[in-house]
Amino acid sequence: MQIRELSAGREEEDEMYRVMVADDEPLMRKAMVSLTNWHELGCEVVYTAENGQQVMENLKEIKPDILITDIKMPGKDGIEIAKYIWEEKLPIKIILLTAYADFSYAQSAVKYNVVDYVTKTGAFDGLIMAINKAKDLIKKEQTSISREDKETVLEYFLKSVFDGSIYDEEEIRSKMSELGMKPENYLVLLLHFRLNEDMTTEKKSRTYKSLLNFFSMVFGEQMLRGIPVQRDMYAIVVQNVPENYMDTILMKGQQITDMMDNFMGLYVNIGVSSRQQEVIYMKKAYDQAESVLGNSFISGDSKISFYERDGVNPEKYSAKVDELIEQLCFQVSQGNTEEVQLKFKEILKTQKLELCAANTIKNSGIIIQQRCRKILDSFGTDIYQITGYRGSITEKIHRCFYADEYEKVMLEILQGTSSYVSNASSHKNTIVNECERYIEENFHKGITVTDIAEHVGTSISYLSRIYKEATGEKILNRLNQMRIEKAKDYLKNTDMKIYEIADALGFENTTYFSYFFKKYTGVSPKDFK
């Protein structure tokens, strides 16, 4: 076995390819290493192995680019090694050495992506061809990876521009130029569709790929880039758009909506920005497309909306809506379910009349559901138990396509919360009343707040909170006050001894009773009597 010093990488060795040679015949190993002009091939032999076991033990450490191995060796044969490399997804090209008789055996290695096989008889003419073939494959893969890396960087960069993470104009210009993107007279189209919530990542990826292929077919060379920007949203940058672009984009957009509806079962809405000249306005274009994307939210129609024609103010503020939300949340906290429904419908009607954008309306819904969460928290429960929803409720609201769907989701949240409050309030009154009865009947038995909580079947913290809300005093103070009043009665109106009174009121001893009495009255039992 021979190990050569590992190089730091091909970049530092003038792109030398790292080769591992494995053969159980010493003469064959020596011949391959010494009779081949490796430097001329752009390769260096970094490791030689006597058997398959040595190969397996050193593959991951040596990290060869090319493995030349005999098919039949002790320990592990060439096929087993090829299978291992294939299963582990190691970036190693395999060349098998074989005798004439092993030809059919070598064919079984095809499924493990073996580059080639070379006969061991005669000169190694076939070996050089196989090595060059392996090198070509490596180069192609590196080019492919480089292209994929660039696509990944471009996708990430565009997403960062769209969401505002990258906003510096010079940085945007520089990066766009570096990535070879110089869009002129461009639009941003934002498509909103709904994928199945249970769709696997793999199926989602296939769906996005199919969409990208179709968009490329529709827009041809005009399509600069298409990327998924959110779970149910896809952005397309279309360049070289003429001034009078609406009719053309409308026609192409209709092709997209028809195809996605008929062949993929995806109902889609499209928002189209105004035409932009410079790359620094990419974020502006995205925001424009997003602002009109929600136009169909109110109307309930699947359509294509243009910012230049249908634009609305996405940041439209309404003091009246804010006031109505406060009134709504108050009704929820009081458990007035009918009033809650009427008040929410009034809010939605107001937002429609004021031409609020879809995102503005949905953001109001998110604020409302957050207020509902706080109300439910005060009752020791949560919104998921009330609604039965799974996953993010914020996302569920954002994914609503139309106002009718949004209204249904919000009313489920609001009515569920309000009904729970109503029932819980009634239940709270029952609990407080039972506490009063239990204290009156058992205060003299030395009961504690823990005993009371266990009796009514709730936690100490919840019981303490609702009791104070209902009566204005702490439950422990109520319990102690009843003991003090009864002690005063015994001391004034009976001949009972102090130790007898202490025992009758559930105190462990006279000393503690005397301390307790003086703490609440300011005088000792003896002085009071």
Contact at 8 Å (CB) between 64 and 18?
yes
**Sole residue written with tokens 């994914």:** 399
Residues 232, 100 share a domain: no
Name beta bridge partners: 225.
237
Q: Is residue 510 part of a domain?
A: yes
Q: Which one of 75, 109, 141 terminates a domain?
A: 141
Question: What's the domain count of the chain?
Answer: 4
Which parts of the chain sit beneath pLDDT 70? 1-14, 100-111, 121-124, 144-149, 196-199, 294, 299-302, 311-317
pLDDT of residue 123: 57
Residues 305, 346 share a domain: no
Residues 369, 435 share a domain: no
Residues 406, 438 share a domain: no
Say which CATH number the domain at 255 has: 3.30.70.270
pLDDT of residue 148: 59
Residues 299, 172 share a domain: yes
Say which CATH number the domain at 136 has: 3.40.50.2300
CA distances, 471 to each of 60, 364, 465, 480 (Å): 73, 35, 10, 15
Q: Which one of 279, 310, 341 terminates a domain?
A: 310
Q: Is residue 323 part of a domain?
A: yes
User: Which domain covers residue 492, as residue numbers?
Assistant: 427-528
Q: Is residue 150 part of a domain?
A: no
Residues 520, 453 share a domain: yes
Residues 360, 301 share a domain: no
Q: Which one of 276, 310, 344 terminates a domain?
A: 310
Ordered DSSP codes for 274-321? --B-SGGGHHHHHHHHHHHHTHHHHH----EEEHHHH---TT---HHH
Residues 174, 84 share a domain: no
Q: Is residue 156 part of a domain?
A: no
Residues 191, 127 share a domain: no
Give the integer Cα–Cα distance in Å for 154 and 258: 29
pLDDT of residue 100: 62
Q: Is residue 157 part of a domain?
A: no
pTM of the model: 0.48
Give the integer Cα–Cα distance in Å for 321 and 298: 17
Q: Is residue 515 part of a domain?
A: yes
Residues 300, 344 share a domain: no
Question: Given CA atoms 33, 39, 42, 46 in this order, what sign does their dihedral have?
Answer: positive
CA distances, 162 to each of 65, 69, 221 (Å): 40, 51, 22
pLDDT of residue 2: 46
3-class SS of residue 70:
strand
Q: Is residue 115 part of a domain?
A: yes
Residues 221, 276 share a domain: yes
pLDDT of residue 54: 93
Contact at 8 Å (CB) between 401 and 192?
yes
Q: Is residue 149 part of a domain?
A: no
Q: Tell me which DSSP letter residue 235 carries.
A: E
Contact at 8 Å (CB) between 497 and 505?
no
Pairing of strands 43-49, 17-22: parallel
Residues 405, 474 share a domain: no
